[in-house]
Chains A and B, each alone.
Chain A
Amino acid sequence: MDEQLISKKDLLALTAISYGQLYRWKRKGLIPEDWFIKKSSYTGQETFFPKGRVLARIAKIQNMKEDVSLDDMADVFSPKADTQAMDGDDMVARGIVSAAALDIYMKDTGSTVPLGFADMVHAYLFGKMLESGDLALPEARQMLDVLRTAEIKNGDAPIALMLARKLGVFVCVALSPPADICHDRDMRLIANVSMPAVIEELKCKLAEGGKS
């Protein structure tokens, strides 16, 4: 994947943050270590960042900064599971999942409320895929099956899901990123789902909901 890079200097100028802030956010884990890309230049070494991701992250940090401490924010951006559990009604009220999708999810899995974090992630993704219209119900179920199997196999390692259709037949593959995939031309990619990104989205929603 070729992602556009931005130099540290340009990043600071563009976002109006200081060196002190950038280093503090790095220390707290708000900006992941592997986004600091070192490249040699005429002045020795310069640091670059994946432009899209770092700008989005900084915007989020600046939005949250007034209400959330840096340490709590670090939890939001960490792909680690939360200990939080939540009632179904709460999840619906906070707009994490629609009542209809949650209802199907609960019946399918036989889960009981309150839902643990893993269930919250699954229900969130399930609802999101159904509501966007990208997946039909049996396909979304199949996706969750693949995801659960991959989670057992991968443990804490990050997971990405590749969702595709070929001649109308749905295919779901779990990957350990970074992975390059080569697929045949007739395959139509529906979505690449990065689970750490899904978890981050969910945690952001939870943190925002916690404010009100």
Chain B
Amino acid sequence: MSGNENMELKINGHGSAAGGTYKQVRINGHGKIEGDIVCRDTFVINGSGDAKGAVQADKLSINGVGNFEGDVEADTLKVVGTSTFKGDVKSDTLFSVSGTADLKAGLRAGKAKVSGSLWAAGDISAESFESSGSFQTKGLLSADIIDVRLHWSKSRAAEIGGETITVKSVAGLSALRSLFSVDTRLEADVIEGNDITLEHTRAKVVRGRNITLGTGCDIDVVEYSGELKRTGGPRVGQEKKV
């Protein structure tokens, strides 16, 4: 291990570094880090960065292209450009994507905010999850509060579970959307929560206490223990009060 925890690692142009412990890491241009790296402060990629080992940082910002081969752990992690993560991603306070993040494993975050695209092969878990962009997971999306605003694209999760789950389409765009025949909706096999409000959602099963189904919903089975409300003619195959 090289480096010093009070030093700054800076790669300008084209270069590579071994890894180690630093105060700050900045890649401006094209940089490669061959081993594990710990960064007590900020880790910024402006341009393109490859990390072959595990990365730990307080703040991690990817403003260009990032490629992470190992596990990544940060307090706040921001993807403004495009980034691929092969290992587990953990972001204690905030994980935000306004560009594209492609996760080959799972995500654990305090708060997750998607205004771009988030793809995850594994589970997404957070205290709160907000999306105004598009997300896809082959696993479970779980958070206390899940708030999804549908704009132009499709989102998908195998399972969604939490306390309050809200899916709404952004008003005023529906005419435009039908003009361009954009398929804007959320798809899930199972959605389970205490209070669930859905619009433009296709799901096989929705289970919860209080459920409100709105326009554009297509649900095969609904099970509820409190109240079921409908607005705007959703399709419901089967409903059961439990």
* A contact residues vs B (CB 8 Å cutoff): 8-9, 13, 18-24, 26-27, 43-45
CB-CB nearest in chain A for B193: A19
Q: What separation, in Å, do the CA atoms of A18 and B223 have in the docked complex?
A: 14
Contact B190 A44 (CB under 8 A): yes
Indicate the member of A18, A43, A44, A45 with the most B CB atoms within 10 Å: A43
Starting from the known contacts A20-B164, A23-B143, A23-B162, 13 additional A-B residue pairs (CB-CB under 8 Å) come to A9-B223, A18-B194, A19-B208, A20-B163, A23-B163, A23-B193, A26-B142, A26-B161, A43-B205, A43-B220, A43-B221, A44-B205, A45-B190
Query: What residues on A are CB-neighbors of B164 within 8 Å?
Result: 20
Are A27 and B194 in contact (CB-based, < 8 A)?
no
Q: Interface on chain A toward B: helix, strand, loop, or mixed SS?
A: helix
* CB<8 Å pairs between A and B, sample of 14: A9-B223, A13-B242, A19-B163, A20-B144, A21-B163, A22-B161, A23-B142, A23-B161, A26-B142, A27-B125, A43-B205, A43-B220, A44-B220, A45-B189
A44 in contact with B161 given A9-B223, A18-B194 (CB within 8 Å): no
Chain B residues proximal to chain A, CB less than 8 Å: 108, 125, 142-144, 161-164, 189-190, 192-194, 204-205, 207-209, 220-221, 223, 242
Q: Which residue of B lies closest to A42 (CB)?
A: B221
Closest residue of chain A to B204, judged by CB?
A: A44
| Bound CA–CA A44/B205 (angstroms) | 8
Looking at A18, A19, A43, A45, the one whose CB has the most chain B CB atoms below 10 A away is A19
